Chains A and B, each alone.
Chain A
């Protein structure tokens, strides 16, 4: 199986931009999806595919990918964006095995 590695924590000033990265070999072949999780709540999908947002997700959330790294960018971070963020993708062994990233805690200052 493969792993997806994320920085444990990042901070961003209110209204500024923050990029969260996810690294793993499988990302060379498969897109990552991104999830926001606030304390005591179920995760919420915020980005999927190349750079798609589900209905209701603000357009300040965007995704990108290059090589073995997928990124989630929050442009103009708001206080309500403070949360844990997880990436997810296929395992590089294929066959619809999935793996979550280690998670990044985003603090909005």
Chain B
């Protein structure tokens, strides 16, 4: 059974780059059945899709964040990563990694989430 775990700094300074990694266990990240995505949730607010990556490397980004986002995959480590540049306080949120079934296009596997605060 696939499981996901986010890791990375909980505090990032304004204007710097937020970097998170999601480790996939219980299966291969190279599965052709899944897209791997990042979703965030500011405190007290709703969910926002940040972007997704296919194991082949194809990426899809939220147009509102596209200029600042990079998602990459490391198949040798069974991990995928998020980089969000030039962060501000508005990027403070719980960040979730998730696995999306490519056939049904539903996020059926979620990490527990990690809180990232942008503050000096």
Binding site for B on A (CB under 8 A): 1, 30-31, 33, 35, 37, 42-45, 48-49, 52, 54, 86, 88-90, 95-103
The 6 closest A-B pairs by CB, nearest first: A48-B106, A33-B106, A42-B110, A103-B46, A100-B47, A98-B49
Please, how many angstroms separate the alpha-carbon atoms of A40 and B61 in the complex? 26
Cross-interface CB contact of B63 among A35, A97, A103, cutoff 8 Å: A97
Task: Chain B residues near A49: list those with CB within 8 A.
Answer: 104, 106
Q: Contact between B108 and A43 (Cβ–Cβ < 8 Å)?
A: no
Q: Contact between A90 and B106 (Cβ–Cβ < 8 Å)?
A: no
Please, how many angstroms separate the alpha-carbon atoms of A100 and B46 in the complex? 8
Q: Contact between A1 and B105 (Cβ–Cβ < 8 Å)?
A: no
Task: Chain A residues near B112: list those with CB within 8 A.
Answer: 42
The bracket for how many chain B residues form the interface is 20 to 34
Q: Contact between A96 and B49 (Cβ–Cβ < 8 Å)?
A: no
Cross-interface CB contact of A52 among B46, B96, B104, B107, cutoff 8 Å: B104
Please, how many angstroms separate the alpha-carbon atoms of A20 and B32 in the complex? 33
- Tell whether A42 pairs with B47 under 8 Å between CB atoms, given A1-B64, A48-B108, A98-B52: no
Task: Chain A residues near B48: list those with CB within 8 A.
Answer: 100
Q: Contact between B60 and A97 (Cβ–Cβ < 8 Å)?
A: yes
CB interface residues, B 3-62, toward A, < 8 Å: 35, 37, 39, 46-49, 52, 60-62
